[in-house]
């Protein structure tokens, strides 16, 4: 990776220029970013991957967020100091996009995408140490929030992701550490699942970006 030219990304023999340097600032070009994301998506997920025209608006907002365009983000009500909660129907491409977007800014500290159900399975196996592990100072994107089972360790039930989110909230306050997540659930369903306390913390932790309810299932 070329730290002197973070706007240029090389994949194999191909060089993608996402914008141009002006002093120490990168002036990004959205259409060039989409070309790169489409190409990188095909490398990561196979030739069937593509960027859909109807998703351009949400992808535009994601790009603004990840490149740190504070002015334009503010116009959309996005706070770049908070994390992202990307919601939408099953199969609309949330997980793929969150796995993909971090490659757009290779000069930034990457986050790890972890399925929520894996966190619960870990809790069932090793207990509360799991909550400590995900409540640490790493960057995470918790994938598929709200459909994971309730945790159970030595006969005690635990709403594992609820506890993890409370820990992440404390880290956000103390270290400005961001957390991202994806979900198929709406705000009311999340509140039913995690309770009012966690839901109010989530409002402070996350910007909500939502796919259209009619977004097609891209898995077929």
Contacts of 143 (CB under 8 A, 6+ apart): 94, 95, 98, 113, 114, 115, 116, 181, 182
Asked if residue 157 is part of any domain, the answer here is: yes
Q: How high is the pLDDT of residue 85? A: 97
Asked if residue 149 lies in contact with residue 117, where contact means CB atoms within 8 angstroms, the answer is: yes
Asked if residue 3 is part of any domain, the answer here is: no
Q: Alpha-carbon dihedral of residues 166, 106, 70, 215, nearest 10 degrees?
A: -70
Q: How high is the pLDDT of residue 213? A: 77
Asked if residue 95 is part of any domain, the answer here is: yes
Q: Which domain holds residue 17?
A: 8-210
Q: Residue 45 is part of a domain; what is its CATH number?
A: 3.40.50.300
Which residues of the chain register pLDDT less than 50?
A: 1-2
* Number of domains forming the structure of the chain: 1
Q: How high is the pLDDT of residue 78? A: 98
The strand pair at 19-22 and 25-28 is best described as antiparallel
Asked if residue 19 is part of any domain, the answer here is: yes
Q: How high is the pLDDT of residue 107? A: 85
Q: How high is the pLDDT of residue 1? A: 47
At 184 the three-state DSSP class reads coil
Asked if residue 61 is part of any domain, the answer here is: yes
Structure tokens at 118: 């894996």
Q: How high is the pLDDT of residue 220? A: 61
Asked if residue 169 is part of any domain, the answer here is: yes
Q: What percent of the chain has pLDDT over 90?
A: 81
């Amino acid at each position: 990776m070329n730290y002197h030219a973070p706007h240029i990304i090389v994949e194999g023999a191909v060089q993608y220029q996402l914008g141009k340097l002006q002093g120490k600032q990168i002036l990004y070009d959205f259409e060039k970013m989409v070309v790169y994301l489409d190409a990188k998506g095909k490398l990561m997920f196979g030739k069937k991957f593509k960027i859909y025209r109807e998703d351009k608006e949400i992808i535009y907002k994601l790009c603004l967020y990840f490149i740190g365009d504070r002015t334009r983000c503010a116009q959309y009500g996005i706070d770049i100091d908070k994390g992202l909660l990307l919601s939408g129907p099953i199969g609309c491409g949330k997980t793929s996009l969150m796995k993909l977007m971090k490659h757009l800014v290779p000069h930034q500290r990457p986050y790890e995408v972890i399925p929520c159900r894996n966190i619960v399975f870990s809790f069932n196996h090793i207990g509360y140490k799991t909550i400590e592990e995900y409540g640490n100072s790493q960057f995470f994107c918790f994938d598929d929030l709200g459909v994971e089972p309730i945790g159970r360790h030595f006969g005690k039930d635990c709403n594992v992701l609820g506890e993890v989110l409370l820990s992440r909230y404390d880290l956000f306050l103390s270290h400005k550490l961001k957390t991202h997540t994806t979900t198929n659930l709406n705000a009311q369903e999340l509140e039913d699942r995690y309770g009012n306390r966690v839901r109010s913390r989530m409002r402070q932790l996350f910007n909500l970006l939502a796919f259209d309810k009619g977004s097609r299932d891209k898995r077929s």
